[in-house]
Each structure stands twice: as C-alpha cells, then as structure tokens.
Amino acid sequence: MCGIIGYTPAETNQGVIDVILDGLSGLEYRGYDSAGVAIADSSVSVFKREGELSELESAVPRDSLDGDAGIGHTRWSTHGPPTDANAHPHTDCHGTVAVAHNGIIENYRALRAELEAAGHEFDSATDTEVIPHLIEIALEQGADAETAFRRAIGQLEGSYAVVAVFSGLEGVYAARHQSPLVVGVGEDGYHIASDVPAFLEHTDRVIYLQDGQFATICPSGVEVTDERGSIVETSVETIAWEPEDAGKSGYGHYMQKEINEQPRAIRDCIRGRLSDLDGTVSIDELGGVGRPSAVHFVACGTSYHASLYAARLFRDRGVPAMAFHASEYDADAVPLDNEALVVGVTQSGETADTLSALRGANRAGAETLSVTNVVGSSASREADHVMYIRAGPEISVAATKTFASQQVALAMLSDALTDASSRGSVEALRALPDQIQSILDDSRARESADTYADADAYFFIGRGYGAPVALEGALKMKEITYKHAEGFPAGELKHGPLALVNERTPVVAVVSGESKSEKMLGNVKEVEARGAPVIAVTDSAGEVQSDVDDILRVPQTKPRFMPILANVQLQLLSYWTAHRLGRSIDKPRNLAKSVTVE
C-alpha cells in the first residue's frame, strides 16, 4: 500500500519534478486518496493534495519548480483520513527535511508524546510525521544528514520504507524494513521507488534493497549500507519488462488491457516448462524439491482463491493439501514434518501477511516455496525456493492476468511435484492461450452485464475445481462494481444463501459438462424455482440451455483446467458491469494493489 518515488539527476536541476510526478503516475495503483511531492535545493518545497494525483498535478508549478533531488508519495490511508495535512511528505518544525513513508510505525504514539513534550508541533494524524522530527533532533545535536537519518530509523518499530531529502543536499536517503524499495540505475540519474513501474521508462537496471539496508542516491551514484553503516556489495539486475508493458496500450482501463494480455501471460508462464516429447512438466527453479508429504498454501485475496484451486489439485493426486488465509496461519499450531512444503502465493511478493506466514514456516523448520510475479521481491528471497508466474506488470488493483497465471503455475507445480503429468495434460496446457483468446474474441459478457447491471446482488456458485473460481468471480464483482456479491460451493446453497435469492439476484453458475454437472444442474433448478435469473459459464451449453437464462461459453478442456477458462468470462462480466455502472475500475475505492501491512 502507498507508493514512494525518489530521484536525483546526474546533473542538478534536470527535470526532477517531472520525473517525480511521472513516477507517481506509475505508482498510483498502490494508493490514490492523496499525494504529495518534496523538491530539495537550497530549501525544501512541499506540495500535497487530497484526492487523486490529478489534484496534485494541478497544484504544482512545474515550470518554476525544480531542484537537486526530490521525493513523492501516493497514499492509501492508514493513520488519519485522506486530507492535505495527512498527505506525505511530512517535514520537521523548520522545513529542512521532508520524509515519505510506507508501512506502520508501531511505537509512534510513544515517540510522538516524547516529541510533543520536547516542544515539537505536529500538523497531521499520521504515524509518519514522527520521523522528520526525530531527524531534526539529531541534526540539532550536530549529526550530519546521513547520521541523523540513521538515528531516526534506529528508533522506529514496525514496518517501513522511508525516503528523505534535506535542504542544501543533492541526495535522497532511504531505508527499508518489511516494505519494498528498489533502486533504478539510469544514465541520466538515479531513482528509488516502491516498485519498478515508477521509473521503467527511464531505466530497466535495478538494485533490490533488503531488510535492514540503507541507500543513498546522489548525482555521483548509489551507495548501499547495512545497519552498522558498512558498505554492501550489490548486483544490478535487468528487468525483462518493457516500458509499454506498464501502459494502457489504447485500452480504456488497465484492467481491460490486462484481461486481454492473458494469452501472452500464460504463454510466458509455461515457456520452457513443458515437454511435448514425454509429456512432463519440469520447473528448473524447483531443483531438489521432491514429492511433499503435505502442502500448506498461505495467501490472501485473489491469491488465496488460486491456492484453493491448487490444494484441490494436490489432493486429487494423493497429497494432503490445504489453503490457509495467511493472516490466520500459525505454523506452530499446524503439524509440519520435514517433508512438508509451505507455499506462499503472492502476486507482489510483498504481501505482509503472506510474508509473516512464510517466516513462521521457516522458523518451524518447514521447506518453503514462493509463487510470485516479482523478481527480487521479499517473498522470492525469504523462501527456500521460488517459482515465478511471469505475468508481467499488473497495474489495475483488481488482479486478472496474475490470477490466471497463478492458476497455470500451480497446476504445473502439482504435476511436477507428483509426477502426474501426461501428454494429454501438456497438450491441454499448451492450448490454453489460444482458447482464452477465443473467449476474448467471442464473449457475450458485455451483453450479460448490460442485462443484469441493475441487480441488487450477485451469487457465484461452482463445484469441485469450479468452487474457487466462483469465489474469485464474486471478489472481482464486489471489488470493481461495489455491488454485493457472494461466492460459495454450490452445495452450500441450501445451508443459508438460498434465503437471499430472488428475481433481482442473478446467479452465475460455473458448470462443467464433465464434472458433477448433474448436481450443478440441480442447484441451478433450485435458484430458478425462486425466480433468480441464471447465467451459466460452461463448456457444455447444450446440457444447460433449457435451464438457464444466459450462457457464457468456454472451450472444452480437461476438467481441472476448465476453471482457468471460466475465470476469463467472469472477469469480463465484472469489468463490463462496472463499466456500465460508471465505476472507477482501475482504482476501486478503499483498495490498493499491494497490501504491505498486516
């Protein structure tokens, strides 16, 4: 949550404000209820505004504002409502230092009380504002800027990514602990940000900071040090993403673009991992991982739904497997032997609850694996093994192509670790990109959305492999339409939800002709008898034609892959419903892309 950007050019006064504002635009998916910038030269100029980034852009005098270094922040509120005063960056009493911060300072109340008792005045309700005042005290005690910054960071408890600029200094000072920061090494200057899209148009060369590390970027280069101040040798990696990957490419919304990128994303996910000759799946990153005695998946939100799907795959191959909400996972309370595998599924690789669950599993002695999209992320470093889903940058808050890529990656994982793959399975996996493209080309989801956009609520049902994707379909609908939506296994209808079904509650049923179709058809008839319209997402339209009001077709595939295809229709249904209702599709209210606090 929240986005940080910092920049210092190789030559002073070279478009700092433009780079900072453009960087914030690339990070707006991480928070968009307020934003601010601080530009440092002989003084520090700060501009902050409640609302989306456009409010800040209209308030900043681009033509007359520039300097030696700058920082910016786009906020997703935790401490204090979205207001101009609570927006970052925050300054000390004299305005000589400005700070932006992601995370939670757990001891800020005690620090603030001490600072106020010493005469410091606060303008906001945020936890962040204690940091510039702590720096101010160290400066008054004679410390230089870097030492003052370190002293302040040393007093913080909690999670943080912090950047600071000082009047009269050219550099940006940064530190991270359990909140991501990545340095961009460019020809024209140096960047630091929460995520790569903030500076991707300027450079694809990056240094990932690790917990406990400090970084200083200045016109002469980058210096990374540890908590003791010792120089840390770092490697510069090259990101495979292209700048246009983070743009809309002519689509109306990032979400629409990313839905349409799913064929390409899945091709990248399976590339080099399938053998047509012997029908096997081979994942090079998993060298040394054998068949586990049990698998625990830990995840949040959309990734949790992918984990439910994966757990079913493993159980059907004879391996005990469960999916846990990462925030509820207690490795000490769940039996784990030395052959068990704990899999953290996280798109960003920075999801705080998932990282906490992985750390608990590591302490308990379990083998750990991260399934993530971001190279160099915290999850990729903290687990024993990592499998990348290769979906490319995803900007819309509502996950689409990353969910599809997670499904495919986890399907391959189950085949690889249980030796259950076959030529038929490999062929079905290879066919998925073209099958998804056919759905994108022919879907009637927009017509269905127009028909049912005024509904009071939506229910999504499925059985077997279809149950997790029903949950995901409901999540997408509620995220971007703000309509009430529920997803559950179809067999649960009679155990409560049926009381809510009426003619204004469409029921979206995931119906596979090869998997429990008779029971699903019985559930369809139950809701039909209560007057509810039924939309079937199905690979066997002929079997359900007479029992439903609308059909969204998917191609025939193996039953365990059918939900991957069905998911695309559900995404389109939610997207076009939100479009019809005029919602903020890429930036739904109260939500942010990467949840980096517990």
Give the model's pLDDT for residue 547. Answer: 78
Q: Could you tell me how many helices (H) and strands (E) the chain has, helices first?
A: 17, 26
- Which helix (DSSP H) or strand (DSSP E) does residue 37 occupy? strand 34-40
Sign of the torsion formed by the C-alpha atoms of 210, 213, 218 and 219: negative
SS3 431: helix
Tokens (6 digits) for 63: 């033509």
Tell me which of 491 and 518 has the higher pLDDT. 491
- Whether residue 199 is found in the same domain as residue 256: no
Q: Is 31 left (phi over 0), alpha (psi -120 to 50) or beta?
A: left
Total number of domains constituting the chain: 3
Residue 589: is its pLDDT beyond 60? yes
- What's the pLDDT at 486? 94
Single out the residue in 243, 275, 293 at which a domain terminates. 243
pLDDT tens-digit series, residues 430-451: 999 999 999 999 999 999 999 9
CATH assignment at residue 537 = 3.40.50.10490
**Per-residue model confidence (pLDDT) at position 81:** 78
Which residue in the list 401, 476, 478, 593 is annotated as catalytic? 593
Confidence bin at 308 (pLDDT 50/70/90) = very high
Of 412, 442, 472, the residue at which a domain comes to its end is 442
Q: Is 80 exceeded by the pLDDT of residue 335? A: no
Q: What sign does the CA torsion over 252, 253, 259, 262 have?
A: positive
Q: What is the arithmetic mean of pLDDT over 227-244? A: 84
Owning domain of residue 275: 247-442
How far apart are the C-alpha atoms of 204 and 47, rounded to whole Å? 29
Of the pLDDT bands very low, low, confident and very high (cuts 50, 70, 90), residue 480 is: very high
Active-site residue identified among 2, 218, 269, 300: 2
Are 219 and 307 found together in one domain?
A: no
277 and 213 in one domain?
Answer: no
Question: Residue 245 above 70 pLDDT?
Answer: no
Residues 479, 565 within the same domain: yes
pLDDT confidence of residue 250: 81
The answer to whether the beta carbons of residues 557 and 439 sit under 8 Å apart is no
292 and 433 share one domain: yes
Structure token pair of residue 120: 């410091």
Output the average pLDDT for the chain. 90
Q: Are residues 193 and 254 in the same domain?
A: no
pLDDT tens, position by position, 336-385: 887 899 999 999 888 889 999 999 999 988 999 999 998 878 898 889 99
Q: How far apart are CA 548 and CA 567, in angstroms?
A: 19
Task: Using alpha carbons, select from 316, 322, 331, 414 the residue that is nearest to residue 371.
Answer: 414
- Residue 514 pLDDT more than 70? no
Question: pTM for the whole thing?
Answer: 0.80
**CA–CA distance, 356 with 186 (Å, rounded to integer):** 33
**Percentage helix, strand, coil, to 5, in the chain?**
40, 25, 40
R_g of the chain, CA atoms, integer Å: 25
CATH at residue 34: 3.60.20.10
104 or 384, higher pLDDT: 384
Question: Which of the four pLDDT bands, split at 50, 70 and 90, describes residue 12?
Answer: low
- Do 121 and 219 sit in the same domain of this protein? yes
Residues 460 and 437 in one domain: no
**What is the model's pLDDT at position 305?**
98
Of 223, 243, 263, which residue is a domain's last? 243
Judge whether residue 135 has pLDDT over 70: yes
Euclidean distance between CA atoms 523 and 455, whole angstroms: 20
Averaged pLDDT, 33-62? 90
Beta-bridged to residue 457, according to DSSP, are: 484
Task: Indicate if the pLDDT at residue 321 is higher than 90.
Answer: yes
Is residue 2 part of the annotated active site? The answer reads: yes
What does the pLDDT read at residue 10? 86
Q: Please indicate, yes or no, whether residues 7 and 101 belong to a single structural domain of this protein.
A: yes
Quick check: 559 pLDDT over 80?
yes
Same domain, 453 and 437: no
Whether 180 and 221 map to the same domain: the answer is yes
pLDDT of 119 over the 60 cut: yes
The DSSP line for 102-160 is EEEETTHHHHHHHHHHTT-----S-STTHHHHHHHHHHHTT--HHHHHHHHHHT--EEE
What's the half-sphere exposure (Cβ side, CA atoms, 13 Å) at 169?
Answer: 16
> CA–CA distance from 361 to each of 166, 278, 378, 427 (Å)?
41, 35, 15, 35
220 and 334 together in one domain: no
Q: What pLDDT band is residue 163 in, cutting at 50, 70 and 90? A: very high
pLDDT on residue 594:
60
C-alpha 323: how far from chain center:
19
- Summarize pLDDT for 179-219 with one digit per residue, the tens: 889 999 998 899 999 888 889 889 999 999 988 999 999 99
pLDDT at 597 over 60: no
Please tell me which residue, 561 or 239, carries the higher pLDDT value.
561
**Residue 244 — very low, low, confident or very high, per pLDDT cuts 50/70/90?**
low
Can 248 be counted among the known catalytic residues?
A: no
Residue predicted with more confidence, 277 or 218: 218
With a CB cutoff of 8 Å and minimum separation 6, the contacts of 354 are 298, 299, 300, 303, 326, 344, 345, 346, 379
